[in-house]
Copies of this chain bind each other. A is one copy, B any other.
Amino acid sequence: METIDPTQGKILAVTGGVGGAKLCLGLSQILSPQQVGFAVNVGDDFSHFGLHISPDIDTLTYTLSGLSNPETGWGRGGETWHFIEAMKQLGGDAWFNLGDADLALHVFRTERLRRGRSLSQVTAEIAKKVGIEHEVLPISDDPVPTIISTKEGELPFQEYFVKRRCEPEVNGFTFQNADDASISPALTRWLEDANLVGVVICPSNPYISIDPVLAAGGFGRLIKDLNVPVVAVSPIVHGAAIKGPTAKIMSELQIPNTAVAIAEHYKHLLTGFVIDETDDALAAKIQDMGLSTISAQTVMVTLGDKINLAKVVLDFVRQIGAE
C-alpha cells in the first residue's frame, strides 16, 4: 500500500451508497484515517419495523470493512434471508430486504439510539467493531428525510427507491428539515480542521444521494466557503449511469444524460471535475464553465480500479490546490 506524506493535508470525501462507496474504499487504501474522512448521506434513512435503517452508512460500512456483498454492492456477503422469509409468513412488510446478519446492525443501532446515543456515535461504534479505522461521518445526527416528488405524488425515499423500484416519474426532491439540521459534531471537526486541503464528491447520484448531503445544515455552502479545491467525479459515463436510477431521473427532469449536465449541476461548488476517459470529448464544455477537468477510468470493478481512481482524484485535488 502506498502511503502519502501526512503533511500534504486532509481530504474529506462526500458519498451516497454503492457508487460513491467504491471510491471511498479506494481512498481508504491510500490515505490514513487521519488523512481522509467520509461524509455520508442520511437522507435515505428510514424507520422500518421500528428499526432505524441507514442504507448509505451501512453500504459504506460494509464496503470499507470488506463485509460487503460483491454481487450487489449493498448488504453483506454470505448473507442469509431466514428472517425476512419468516416475516413474510407472518404477513409483515417484506418489500425491504433485510438479511439475517445485516439485521443485527439495524437492531444494534436502534437500541443505541433509543438509549440516547447520536447517529454519529453509533456509526463510529459500529465502524470500530467491524474493523474500520477511518471515520464514517453521517452528515447530520438530525433526521433529514428525502422526499421524492413524482407524477403519483410525494413518496418517502425508500418507498420510491426500493418499494416502487424507482418506477414513478420524478419531478423534484425535498430535503425535509435540511435547513434546521446541524452538521454532526465529528464532521464539523473535519470542516474546521486547518489541514483540510480538499473535498471530493464521489460518483453517487447527484439528486438523491449528494444533494441531500449538500442541503443538510448548509453543508454545500460550508464546503464552498472553505476555499479549498472541491472536485466531483461524474457518475455519468458516456451517457449512462454505472448503476441505479441517475440517468432515468435526469431524463425525467429533462436533463441530458451527460457528464456535462452533472458538472453544470454542481458547478457553483466545484473547482474541478473528473470525467470518464470515454468522455474526453466533453472536457472543453466543462472547462468553459470555469472548471478544471481530468479524465480517468471512472468505472470501478476491481479493487485496483478503485485505488487507481482514488490516486488520480487525489493528485487532481493537489494539483488544483497547488495552482
| Chain A interface residues toward B at CB < 8 A | 49-51, 76, 79-80, 82-87, 89-92, 99-105, 107-108, 110-111, 114, 125-126, 129-130
Q: How far is the CB of A184 from chain B (nearest CB, A)?
A: 20
Besides A79-B82, A80-B82, A92-B104, 6 other A-B contacts (C-beta < 8 A): A49-B107, A50-B107, A82-B99, A82-B100, A90-B126, A90-B129
B83 touches A104 (CB 8 A): yes
A108 touches B87 (CB 8 A): yes
A101 touches B82 (CB 8 A): yes
Max count, chain B CB within 10 A of own CB: residue among A86, A103, A111: A86
Taking CB atoms, residues of chain B closer than 8 Å to A105 are 86, 90
Q: How far is the CB of A202 from chain B (nearest CB, A)?
A: 26
Q: How far is the CB of A117 from chain B (nearest CB, A)?
A: 13
* Nearest residue, chain B, Cβ from A103: B83
A108 touches B49 (CB 8 A): yes
Q: How far is the CB of A161 from chain B (nearest CB, A)?
A: 21
Q: Which of B49, B102, B111, B126 has a CB less than 8 Å from the CB of A49?
A: B111
Q: How many Å lie between the Cα of A208 and that of B89 in the bound state?
A: 31
Q: Which of B89, B103, B126, B130 has a CB less than 8 Å from the CB of A103?
A: B103
Q: How many Å lie between the Cα of A114 and that of B125 in the bound state?
A: 27
Taking CB atoms, residues of chain B closer than 8 Å to A84 are 104
Q: A129-B90, A130-B89 are in contact. Are A114 and B50 (CB under 8 A)?
A: yes
Taking CB atoms, residues of chain B closer than 8 Å to A91 are 125, 129
Taking CB atoms, residues of chain B closer than 8 Å to A104 are 83-87, 89-90, 92
Q: How far is the CB of A311 from chain B (nearest CB, A)?
A: 32
Q: How many Å lie between the Cα of A91 and that of B108 in the bound state?
A: 9
Q: How many Å lie between the Cα of A91 and that of B92 in the bound state?
A: 28
Taking CB atoms, residues of chain B closer than 8 Å to A86 are 76, 100-105
Q: How far is the CB of A101 from chain B (nearest CB, A)?
A: 4
Q: How many Å lie between the Cα of A101 and that of B90 in the bound state?
A: 11
Q: Which of B51, B90, B100, B129 has a CB less than 8 Å from the CB of A83?
A: B100
Q: How many Å lie between the Cα of A79 and that of B80 in the bound state?
A: 12
Q: How far is the CB of A173 from chain B (nearest CB, A)?
A: 28
* Nearest residue, chain B, Cβ from A76: B86
Taking CB atoms, residues of chain B closer than 8 Å to A110 are 49-50
Taking CB atoms, residues of chain B closer than 8 Å to A49 are 107-108, 110-111
Q: How many Å lie between the Cα of A281 and that of B126 in the bound state?
A: 61
